[in-house]
Amino acid sequence: MSNHHTYKKIEMVGSSKTSIEDAIHNALAECSKTVKNMDWFEVVETRGHIVDGAVGHFQVTLKIGFRIGDS
């Protein structure tokens, strides 16, 4: 194992009809199916869809950081 870590960040968008927090959980759950070594996330944008004057669904854009290989 090396004495340093190397990371990469990707951007994902999660959505939910329930809440912003649920949208975050949905994005992380889907991402974890294919991305290994996830270490952190940043919420960089929050938005939503309006239906009949109310929130139809929430969307959050996340940057997810993950460690490259065995670094």
pLDDT of residue 70: 73
**pLDDT, position 71:** 67
- pLDDT, residue 4, reads 81
Per-residue pLDDT of the chain (71 residues; tens, 9 = 90+): 567 889 999 999 999 999 999 999 999 999 999 999 999 999 999 999 999 999 999 999 999 999 997 76
Residue 1 has a pLDDT of 53
- For 20, residues 6+ apart whose C-beta sits below 8 A from its C-beta are 46, 58, 60
Give me the pLDDT at residue 18, please.
Answer: 97
CA-based angle 54:31:48, to the nearest 5? 15
In the chain, what are the domains?
7-68 (3.30.1660.10)
